[in-house]
Amino acid sequence: MRIGVLAAQGAFAEHIAILHQLKVEVTPVRLPAELVGLDGLIIPGGESTSISRLMLDYNLASEIRSLAKNGLPIFGTCAGMILLAKRNSALAAEPLGVMDITVRRNAFGRQRDSFETELSIPVLGEKPFPGVFIRAPVIEQVNSEVEILARLADGTSVAVRQGKLLASAFHPELTNDLRFHQYFLDIVAGGTT
Amino acid sequence: MESGTWKVKTGLAQMLKGGVIMDVINAEQAKIAQEAGACAVMALERVPADIRAMGGVARMADPTIIEAIMKAVSVPVMAKCRIGHFVEAQALEALGVDFIDESEVLTPADESHHIWKHDFKVPFVCGCRDLGEALRRIGEGAAMIRTKGEAGTGNIVEAVRHMRAVIGGIHRLVNTPQEELMAQAKEMGTPFELVAEIHRTGKLPVVNYSAGGVATPADAALMMQLGAEGVFVGSGIFKASNPEVRAKAIVKATTHYQDPEIIAEVSKNLGEAMPGLDIKQIPAEELLASRGW
């Protein structure tokens, strides 16, 4: 199994380190040629505007969009989720627009409002998952094909799945808990529905 | 829910990796920087080249400038306070800036003590010239480090010197036998725990950017190849003849730093770079990098 990690800008090294722990082959992706032969793609946290500008170069965004439409599993964290969303309530970036969700950027405020909290994520088992939210977005609306995987105590949706597309508002790559990445690899392997 | 934790402070710095942080002095420049792909902006009253030219005491920017920039862009906004001036830092935190740079570019307020940064919820970035200085700042609570270089010169030589000193220092500690680590910590004047951590992990516990002298896409890629995890560009963009084009080129060069063909392509037709300064022509007492310890 070979997973690509978009390496335009952001915390891509952290995703790569986790994938190595899970014994997966990893390709950092900066150019379309590096997308060839991937079984899945991760779009990391970072600055969504910055990443989206860099994705417009060399047609990277349109290549990823067409791969997603052809069923490539993609996992986006934070900025990655913003880029995957079809709708963005404060549109400053050009998203890939492949997931049927509406997101709101910087939904909690500025950096001083960034926080950590424990999340209940039933698909990952009973043990709470460490949620690291950094200038995080939230999911405001989903269509009926989208499954909500995690909510904050107040009901706000913070992780979703639509078919082979997975997105979280928080950063599993900043924790030592490998379960979210393992869940994505299970989707890639076709093991979960 | 817990805010202001070490994890969310250092985590924001991790989100900035592989990016370019640009100095801006008004909302219009901030928008240009964001549009070019900057992963954050540094809100200032004057860029370092002008601070250097004007002389006098350089202080925290007027909050109205910082607020205007915060309103204009969605990327993180950083602002500078003077070394040791914890009240400027408190004011910046109250304004809601996303990162504070305790910076040698401003005139130091305290020549003996830097800010105790663990007391703040907002993360700090600090400058360093070598590994010892980096670890002292991390010990005080810096969630991100940048090598100092020599701001406002458009000359990369000091940035290279400082990055090589930090990376070389890490290599030396990794190869230092366990029983010599305490003597090393004493010699470097740094906390033993951090020396032991570097020996064990082979890397800094926080993100390390490069600053002070980046003027071209090749400069940015040079610093990335030397081990920087991103670059600050101060005067290098808005003191150049065509800021939009240069800003985009530096962003691209930072992402594709290992790709000489792309570096060559984005270096074409950028117009005039900022006028540079020879470090040897600057009197020793005017070197910004020697501020702080």
Each residue of A80-101: pLDDT tens digit? Answer: 999 999 988 765 556 799 999 9
Helices and strands (H, E) in chain B, number of each type: 13, 9
The verdict on A108 touching B (C-beta cutoff 8 Å) is no
d(CA A109, CA A136): 8
Is the separation of the CB atoms in B16 and B75 below 8 Å?
no
Catalytic (active site) residue A147:
no
Residue A127, both tokens: 């043990």
Residue of B nearest to A113 (CA): B3
The verdict on B255 touching A (C-beta cutoff 8 Å) is yes
The answer, yes or no, to whether residue B163 has pLDDT greater than 90, is yes
Looking at residue A94, what is its pLDDT? 60
Q: Which H, E and C letters describe A15-81, residue by residue?
A: HHHHHHHCCCEEEEECCHHHHCCCCEEEECCCCHHHHHHHHHHHHHHHHHHHHHHCCCCEEEECHHH
Looking at the partner chain, which of B14, B38, B98 has a beta carbon nearest the beta carbon of A50? Answer: B38
The answer, yes or no, to whether residue B81 has pLDDT greater than 80, is yes
Looking at residue A166, what is its pLDDT? 98
Q: For residue A33, count other CB atoms closer than 10 A to its CB.
A: 9
Contacting residues for A143 by C-beta, under 8 A, at least 6 apart: A100, A101
The answer, yes or no, to whether residue A36 has pLDDT greater than 70, is yes
Looking at residue A89, what is its pLDDT? 75
pLDDT category at B148 given cuts 50, 70, 90 is very high
- Catalytic residue list of B: 80
Exposure string of B187-203, with b = 16+ CB inside 10 Å and e = fewer, is ebebeeebbbbbbeeee
The answer, yes or no, to whether residue B274 has pLDDT greater than 70, is yes
Q: Do A106 and B37 touch (CB under 8 A)?
A: no
pLDDT category at B285 given cuts 50, 70, 90 is confident
Catalytic pick from A15, A63, A171, A181?
A171
The verdict on A118 touching B (C-beta cutoff 8 Å) is no
d(CA B126, CA B114): 10
- The ipTM value here is 0.96
- Helical (H) or strand (E) element with B34: helix B27-36
d(CA B285, CA A141): 59
Q: Tell me which long-range contacts B178-181 makes (C-beta under 8 A, separation of at least 24).
A: none
**pLDDT tens across A3-25, in order?**
999 999 999 999 999 999 999 99
d(CA A131, CA A152): 10
Is the separation of the CB atoms in A46 and A10 below 8 Å?
yes
Q: What is the phi/psi pair of residue A154, to 5°?
A: -85, 5
Q: What is the dihedral of CA B56, B58, B62, B65, to 10 degrees?
A: 110
Crossing angle for the helix pair B181-188 and B157-174, to the nearest 10 degrees: 150
- DSSP-derived letter for residue B242 is -
Q: Per-residue pLDDT averaged across B75-82, rounded?
A: 97
Contacting residues for B85 by C-beta, under 8 A, at least 6 apart: B60, B109, B110, B115
* Alpha-carbon distances of B90 from B24, B95, B96, B137, B191, rounded to whole Å: 21, 9, 10, 18, 26
Looking at residue A192, what is its pLDDT? 67
Contact list, A57 vs chain B (CB under 8 Å): 252
Looking at residue A95, what is its pLDDT? 72
Q: What is the phi/psi pair of residue B268, to 5°?
A: -75, 140
From the list A134, A142, A2, the residue with the least C-alpha distance to A84 is A142
d(CA A44, CA A174): 11
Q: What is the mean pLDDT of chain B?
A: 96
Contact list, A136 vs chain B (CB under 8 Å): none
In chain A, the domains with their CATH numbers are 2-189 (3.40.50.880)
Looking at residue A146, what is its pLDDT? 96
